[in-house]
Amino acid sequence: MGLTHFSRRTLAVAPWKNGGGTTQEIACWPPGAGLSDFGWRVSIATIAAEGPFSVFADIDRSIMLLEGEGVRLRSRDGRIDHSLDIPHRPFAFAGDVEIDCTLQGGTSSDFNVMTRRGQWQAELRVLGGAAAVEAALHGVLLALRGDWRLNDEEQICREGEGLCWTDAPHAWQALPLAPDARLAAVRILPA
């Protein structure tokens, strides 16, 4: 498995069954797993229409706005009423909850991390300065804004590009190459 470089521009785009948007899968574990049997999954979604979010039993989710005016998330039981309208601010919720999504304007895109409860747990941080990302067996880095140097090497992660690692522990020293740079850092750990 190891380490893989990816670019948002070249990730495959899959339409949602309900026609309300599309998904670009960054990584999924174990390899070849589908939506019903993954251990963890990281993706980017484009939301183009209002409607219900898919329910994922026994899944914990983190979501954050990447581009657009965002969406409002409301659970049918009233426990969740959240405006996802500030870029790069993660919001965590249980995938079991029935949630309706209302557009705050036009189409928006978001970053999604899902982990199977009891098997995996995810930590999603957005870095705005030099920082260490502690070792994890699995994870994803995505340059949200600006370019980043990783591990004091010539490895540069350009805006819109990232790294994914699976089944091999990696730790990182991340250094922004611009003052307003932002890096999404996802560590996926056994529960």
pLDDT single digits (tens) 123-166: 999 999 999 999 999 999 999 999 999 997 778 999 999 999 99
In a domain? residue 22 = yes
Do 111 and 151 reside in the same domain of the chain? no
Residue from 49, 50, 23 nearest 38 by CA: 23
pLDDT, tens digit (0-9, with 9 covering 90-100), for 79-133: 999 999 999 999 999 999 999 999 999 999 999 999 999 999 999 999 999 999 9
Residue 47's contacts (CB-CB under 8 Å, 6 or more residues apart) are: 20, 21, 68, 71, 101, 103, 107, 108, 109, 110
What's the token pair of residue 96?
């079991």
Is residue 1 in some structural domain? no
* CATH number of the domain within which 72 lies: 2.60.120.10
- C-alpha torsion angle, residues 119, 90, 163, 60 (rounded to 10): 20
Chosen domain end from 51, 83, 116: 116
Q: What is the mean pLDDT of the chain?
A: 95
Report pLDDT for 42: 98
Binned at pLDDT 50, 70 and 90, residue 175 comes out as very high
pLDDT more than 90, % of the chain: 93
**Rounded average pLDDT over 173-189:** 96
Q: Tell me, yes or no, whether 134 and 185 share the same domain.
A: yes
Last residue of a domain, one of 116, 136, 154: 116
Choose among 146, 147, 148: nearest CA to 131: 148
**Which tokens belong to 65?**
């706005």
Q: What is the C-alpha separation between 80 and 102, in angstroms, rounded?
A: 13
